[in-house]
Amino acid sequence: MTTTAPRHVVADRPTDEAAQTRRRRGALIRAVPRWLVTLLAAAIVLPPVAWVLSTSLKRDADTVSFPPRWIPNPFSWAQYEGIYTITNVRFLINSTVLAVGSIVLALVICVPAAYAATRFRSGRTEALMTVVLVLTMVPGIVVFIALYAMLVRTSLINTYPLLIVVYTALISGQAILFLRNFFENIPVEIEEAAAIDGCNRRQILLRVVLPLVRPGIAAIAVFIFVFVWNDFLVSTVLATSEDMKTVQNGIVRYITTGFGNFWGLFAAFVIVSFAPVLAVFVAFQRWFIAGMTSGESRDERDLSSATGRARRRRRSVRVGRVQAARGVPGGRGSCHGDRGRGPASGRPRTSTRSPGSPRRRARAG
Amino acid sequence: MVALLVFVIPLGYTVWTATHHTSYYEIGSYSGLDSFSKLFSDGDLGHEVVTTLVFAVGALVVALPVGLVSAVVVNNARRLKRSVRSLFLLPWLMSQATVGTIWFWFLNPNYGPATQLTKALGFGPTNVFSTPTAALVAVTLITAWWSYPQAMLLFLGALQTVPVELKESMRVDGGNAWQTFRNVTLPYIRNAIVSVVVVLLMLYVQMVTIILVTTRGGPLNSTETLAMRTYNEMFVDFNMSGAAATALLLFAINIVLTLVAVRFRRKESL
């Protein structure tokens, strides 16, 4: 059967090449709307960003001139020097402490919780997960306001631990649900193998499971960082004293002073505070996107695995048949295999036998 | 699990304050459901519910298709993949407070760059934050601008569950891009659409920051959504029981939204 020569594949080769160039040109044309959308997005997304960047390099007097100038003339670093104040440094430190603290606390709580919720399935854990889900529905503003009212007269307000706990609580519901999707992807057999080799639960979690869910952990850590760093409301409400405010409060402060709006300083501080987010994002982009997109909700996977698999199987058989019947090369490996095997077995130039039935050829690959 | 307490205690506390008389942050005697009856007989409430709906649904109607289209584009991008992705994600990486303020400034009628553009095109200055309807539209669009990348991320994940073979077979069978999208991609991401709708609606219903830094609920209360009202009652009017009642109403709306969504999902996966 392997010696069956699909003769007309050889015959099709020139047209195949023509088809390839045609396809390449088609791909170029098809890419046009894609780039149009990208350009449109750039036109909508970039102007405010460019504007902030340009303003941060202007002199004070130029920031509110009309008509506005897009290219600062003359360039000036005065705004960046202007925001280098002890309060702003304090804001940056506060935000960093809160972000790092929240990431650590959230991971310490959520990773074991998500693991337990995945591996020890029972009615109780399911109920608990439902409670977690419902509690993530509590509007944030409800929580802050009640916390503020409760704590305003205690010494807990304006402390790092309180703010970290609040941030962690706000994010942990999502984090647990998110991480659970990753744990579900790990086959139990791996853990069983580790257990047979003499690992205890803790070792299994630390040495076997954690390395496997690293992308998920990286993704959620980046997510938490962006969430805490960019948060405005929690620190507005729960950090009442000056030295506990965060970067976002510092930014907004420049235009709500009552002494006028310092657009130049505002813009410079926006740029400075955006730099860490951008740096973290660029550094972890691969993991972040992979984690965000592979940890889809369970329903999606159920759908794709249950109905999708059956459908896919049916379709692929049909695809193979269609391609074979049309003599389309390179489809689902039916002809690649033949070609790769070389003239010795696969493709004698002259063949005495007629090509096998389409069905058989589709299988041959 | 300790973190749950941070939700449960404030929730209980909110119920407690909603059913008591309060003056500033002191809790007085039991008042039953007074603050709720006051809330529901408030003439502004209907208006605010409508505002919340217009705001949330409006932003959703903009952000959902934009998120979907950008997810498709990012998913298919071959060259400059990372740059394209970062470009589309950029608004979401900025904080709500920054985004609100930047747009507020961008649209400033006296010296904003947008005014330059509209004046050059022969329209007047972009005076959007002083007329009620325009302010609501502007706040809605700003929110959509900030939030569409979240929809995009969720869609991106869903798009990757679409088997490539199906798309290929569609191409071989002679289907064009739109047919492929409709008949192959859409059925696979239907669940993702539901979850995006839920996530975004909840986000919009609770949105305070962007409204706070741009309009604070004004002008003439035109942008005061329920969440904004909660904030204003608490920190401007110092009416704690009123704020608590409004907050519970907000919570109830969120629960209803979620239940509807869960129902939708169940049906899908069966």
CB contact under 8 A, B202 and A137: yes
Q: Which residues pair with B20 in a beta bridge?
A: B30
**Contact status of A226 with chain B (Cβ, < 8 Å):** yes
Contacts across the A-B interface (CB distance below 8 Å): 253
Using the 8-state DSSP alphabet, how is residue A63 labeled? T
CA distance A197 to chain B (A): 31
* Two structure tokens written together for A165: 């706990």
Collapsed DSSP state (helix, strand, coil) of residue A203: helix
**Contact status of A287 with chain B (Cβ, < 8 Å):** no
pLDDT at position A345 over 50? no
Residue A254 to residue A261: CA distance in whole angstroms: 6
Q: What pLDDT, on the 0 to 100 scale, is given for residue A228?
A: 92
Residue-by-residue DSSP string for B46-105: HHHHHHHHHHHHHHHHHHHHHHHHHHHHHHH--TTHHHHHHHHHHHHHS-HHHHHHHHHH
Tell me how far CA of residue B173 lies from CA of A45, A87, B160, B169, in angstroms.
38, 65, 22, 6
pLDDT at position B62 over 70? yes
The pLDDT confidence band at residue A259, using thresholds 50, 70 and 90, is low
Within 8 A by CB and 6+ apart from A233, the residues are A140, A141, A144, B208, B209, B212
Q: What pLDDT, on the 0 to 100 scale, is given for residue B46?
A: 78
pLDDT at position A232 over 80? yes
pLDDT at position B70 over 70? yes
Q: What pLDDT, on the 0 to 100 scale, is given for residue A99?
A: 93
The pLDDT confidence band at residue A307, using thresholds 50, 70 and 90, is very low
A299 in Cβ contact with B261 (< 8 Å): no
Beta strands in B77-198 (DSSP E): none
pLDDT at position A324 over 50? no
Mean pLDDT computed over every residue of chain B: 77
* pLDDT digit string, tens, across residues B187-213: 778 777 887 888 888 888 888 888 888
Which of B58-72, B125-139, B157-171 has the largest mean confidence?
A: B58-72
CA-nearest residue of chain A to B193? Answer: A300
CA distance B126 to chain A (A): 13
CB contact under 8 A, B93 and A67: no
| Other CB atoms within 10 Å distance of the CB of residue B124 | 9
Q: What pLDDT, on the 0 to 100 scale, is given for residue A98?
A: 92
Q: Closest Cα to residue A217, out of A290, A279, A165, A276? A: A290
Residue B180 to residue B135: CA distance in whole angstroms: 40
Which residue in the set B3, B116, B191 is minimally distant from A109, CB to CB? B3
- Most B CBs within 10 A among A142, A270, A294, hence the mutation to make, goes to A142
B244 in Cβ contact with B168 (< 8 Å): no
Contacts of B121 in chain A (CB under 8 A): none
* pLDDT digit string, tens, across residues A242-257: 788 888 888 888 776 6
CATH number at residue B230: 1.10.3720.10
Q: What pLDDT, on the 0 to 100 scale, is given for residue B268?
A: 43
Count how many domains chain B has. 1
Q: Does CATH place domain A80-296 in 1.10.1060.10?
A: no
pTM (predicted TM-score): 0.75
Which residue in the set B70, B172, B212 is minimally distant from A41, CB to CB? B70
CB contact under 8 A, B208 and A65: no
Residue B85 C-beta-side C-alpha neighbours within 13 Å: 19
Over residues B160-165, mean pLDDT: 78
A149 in Cβ contact with B25 (< 8 Å): yes
Within 8 A by CB and 6+ apart from B129, the residues are B104, B107, B135, B138, B214, B215, B219
* pLDDT digit string, tens, across residues A131-187: 777 777 677 777 777 777 777 777 777 888 888 888 888 888 778 878 887 888 788
CB contact under 8 A, A37 and B96: no
What domain range includes position B21? Answer: 2-269
Q: Which string of b and e fits B94-103 if b means at least 16 CB within 10 Å?
A: bbbbbbbbbb
CA distance B43 to chain A (A): 23
* Two structure tokens written together for A284: 């972890």
Using the 8-state DSSP alphabet, how is residue A159 labeled? -
B241 in Cβ contact with B20 (< 8 Å): yes
ipTM value for the complex? 0.79
Within 8 A by CB and 6+ apart from B90, the residues are A45, A46, A49, B149
Domain with CATH 1.10.3720.10 in chain A: 80-296
Q: Report the range of poorest mean pLDDT among A96-100, A183-187, A319-323, B95-99.
A: A319-323
CA distance B192 to chain A (A): 7
* pLDDT digit string, tens, across residues B102-136: 888 888 777 777 777 777 776 666 677 778 888 88
